[in-house]
């Protein structure tokens, strides 16, 4: 995703390769395939995967995809930056499945259009770039007939959410898998806990409280040679247009669990507060470092949500569902009765939820039973966005207002050069758009 010469790795020979669209790797013909849901039912054909977004999470997703199926081969890598591609390739070739890494230099694509080239030569794409790019990359993948693993969140603004909803409907019509990186949905312990909640072990849900309070995260000091655009993308966490702010990028996990508790029914409105107390210097872009949002449902249920990224503070990542007959501690997989005594605890097998996502994705492709997580991954992302809107503006925002909002954070152009940092939001001053 880079059009500048300094980090550009695409060569003339690569363009020629893409124009021809074919190459032999592991006995498989590279190039667009007419995929159908049962294409791999025999269980022995090679499934070619491509990774778009070669950071730590993307590289981890590629490792998990390779571990999910013995006939998965990695055939393409794409990223904004050539150095990230090379680092990911180096890590992956030393993976236990390194003999299934077939990514020669001509299939390592850098630049803003790298995603197009990766999609062109694979069967399954792993979308792991900064969230801003997810709607466009997902749309391109589904239009090309590719199965998808899409990291969370899947958008940063309502325009992006609407695009994702439409694309996932198209994926369903094409019988393509779209598996979400909202990984708690794939944790056996969480699945069992929510099953008991939905069975009524604590009665009807009356309130929820969820927290994602952590320390600060990584930051890459700006280098003299970096343009504004490169600096922002390399530090994408700290710019709302790229990450959605951390109520969207990180806290979406917690909000998704509250949506799960409500059978994927979503709130009608929310109000919130937040600000920027400790991460105030320019290297931290324009996002907040704390937020608190109250979500309201039609039946009077409220979710009390908070998130914080501040060093030196207590860490609390927890979710509590309160019912008419007790409460459920989601993260510890325990239910308590009205007297506070334990009435159920998960004691079943444990599994790596990140791995389970990929195991089920590839099993679904093999069996001709595609998985489509599009509804909840789009709407849980929207919960994060509407909460950010409420905190940024200081206004009560309805779900309908947010879904119909004209807000679109897309920059005027994707190019290496100047790009302004939007001002930090000020509640009561920043308008709802």
Condensed to tens digits (0 to 9), the pLDDT of residues 397-432 reads: 999 999 999 999 999 999 999 999 999 999 999 999
Count of domains for the chain: 2
Same domain, 368 and 330: no
Same domain, 343 and 366: no
Same domain, 170 and 298: no
pLDDT score at 44: 53
Same domain, 178 and 281: no
The DSSP secondary-structure symbol of 222 reads P
More confident residue, 2 or 403: 403
pLDDT score at 16: 31
Does residue 416 fall inside a structural domain? no
DSSP 3-state assignment of 397? strand
- A 10 A CB-CB count for 205 gives 23
Tell me the average pLDDT across 6-31. Answer: 32
366 phi and psi angles, rounded to 5 deg: -60, -40
The DSSP secondary structure of 29-74, one letter per residue, reads E-S-----TTTTTTS-S-EEEEEE--SHHHHHHHHHHHHH-TTEEE
Tell me the average pLDDT across 67-86. Answer: 98
Residue 212 token pair? 């994602």
pLDDT interval class at 25 (50, 70, 90) = very low
Distances (CA, A) of 60 to 31, 73, 88, 380: 25, 15, 9, 23
Using CA atoms in the order 265, 267, 273, 276, what is the torsion angle rounded to 10 degrees?
Answer: 40
The domain spanning residue 177 has which CATH number? Answer: 3.40.50.720
Same domain, 386 and 237: yes
Same domain, 152 and 219: no
Q: Which of 2-6, 258-262, 288-292 has the lowest mean pLDDT?
A: 2-6
Write down the pTM of the prediction: 0.91
pLDDT score at 323: 98
**Rounded mean pLDDT of the chain?**
91
pLDDT interval class at 186 (50, 70, 90) = very high
Same domain, 157 and 237: no
pLDDT score at 96: 87
User: Which residue range forms the structural domain that includes residue 84?
Assistant: 12-184+361-373
Does residue 423 fall inside a structural domain? no
pLDDT interval class at 4 (50, 70, 90) = very low
pLDDT score at 6: 31
Is residue 19 predicted with pLDDT exceeding 70? no
Alpha-carbon distance of 295 to 133, in angstroms, equals 27
Condensed to tens digits (0 to 9), the pLDDT of residues 340-399 reads: 999 999 999 999 999 999 999 999 999 999 999 999 999 999 999 999 999 999 999 999
């Amino acid at each position: 995703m880079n059009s500048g010469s300094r980090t550009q790795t695409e060569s003339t020979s690569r363009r020629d390769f893409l124009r021809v669209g074919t190459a032999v790797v592991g006995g498989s013909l590279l190039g667009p395939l007419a995929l159908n849901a049962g294409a791999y039912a025999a269980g022995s054909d090679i499934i070619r995967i491509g990774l778009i977004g070669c950071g730590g999470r993307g590289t981890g997703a590629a490792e998990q995809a390779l571990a999910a199926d013995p006939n998965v081969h990695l055939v393409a890598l794409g990223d904004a930056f050539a150095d990230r591609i090379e680092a990911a390739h180096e890590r992956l070739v030393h993976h236990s499945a390194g003999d299934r890494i077939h990514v020669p230099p001509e299939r390592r694509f850098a630049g803003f259009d790298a995603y197009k080239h990766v999609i062109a030569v694979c069967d399954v794409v792993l979308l792991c770039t900064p969230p801003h790019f997810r709607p466009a990359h997902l749309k391109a993948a589904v239009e090309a007939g590719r199965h998808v693993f899409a990291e969370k969140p899947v958008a940063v603004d309502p325009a992006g959410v609407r695009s994702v909803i439409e694309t996932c409907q198209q994926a369903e019509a094409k019988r393509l898998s779209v598996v979400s990186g909202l990984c708690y949905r794939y944790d056996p312990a969480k699945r069992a806990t929510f099953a008991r909640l939905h069975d009524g072990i604590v009665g009807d849900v009356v309130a929820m409280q969820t927290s994602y309070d952590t320390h600060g995260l990584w930051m890459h000091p700006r280098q003299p040679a970096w343009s504004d655009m490169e600096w922002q993308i390399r530090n994408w966490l700290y710019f709302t247009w790229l990450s959605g702010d951390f109520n969207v990028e990180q806290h979406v996990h917690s909000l998704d669990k509250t949506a799960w508790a409500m059978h994927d029914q979503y709130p009608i409105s929310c109000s919130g507060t937040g600000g920027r107390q400790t991460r105030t210097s320019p290297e931290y872009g324009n996002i907040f470092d704390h937020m608190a949002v109250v979500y309201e449902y039609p039946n009077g249920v409220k979710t009390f949500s908070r998130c914080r990224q501040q060093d030196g503070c207590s860490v609390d990542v927890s979710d509590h569902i309160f019912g008419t007959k007790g409460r459920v501690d989601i993260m510890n997989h325990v239910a308590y009765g009205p007297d506070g005594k334990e009435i159920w605890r998960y004691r079943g097998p444990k599994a790596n939820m990140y791995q389970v996502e990929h195991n089920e994705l590839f099993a679904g492709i093999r069996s001709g039973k595609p998985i489509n997580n599009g509804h909840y991954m789009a709407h849980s992302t929207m919960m994060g966005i509407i909460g950010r809107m409420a905190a940024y503006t200081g206004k009560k925002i309805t779900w309908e207002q947010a879904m119909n909002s004209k807000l679109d954070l897309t920059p005027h152009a994707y190019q290496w050069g100047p790009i302004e940092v939007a001002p930090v939001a000020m509640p009561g001053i920043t308008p709802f758009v």
